[in-house]
Amino acid sequence: MIINFKCKGCNQEFDCEMGKIGINDQTFRPDFEKPNFCPRCGERGLDDVLLTELGQSQMTEATKDA
């Protein structure tokens, strides 16, 4: 599943293939199969990026069957 993010480091939006996406039962945060990777900054943690509006609708789509 490709999700659109905005990197807090370089302020650029990018698409990232995150693999399978679930929601963590304990934290209710998304669980991604693959690491988040900004094309400019390299690997980023979940706190280093923001979901764009497009990313949010992609997340809703990705997790609605979970």
**Interface with Zn ion (CB under 5 A), residue from 3, 5, 7, 62:** 7
**Structure tokens belonging to residue 21:** 């996406």
Would you count residue 38 as binding Zn ion (CB under 5 A)? yes
CB 29 within 8 A of CB 43: no
- Binding segment (CB under 5 A) for Zn ion, from list 4-12, 16-24, 26-34, 53-61: 4-12
Name beta bridge partners: 13: 6
Cβ contact 3:59 at 8 Å = yes
Our finding on whether 35 is near Zn ion (CB under 5 A) is: no
Binding site for Zn ion (CB under 5 A): 7, 9-10, 38, 40-41
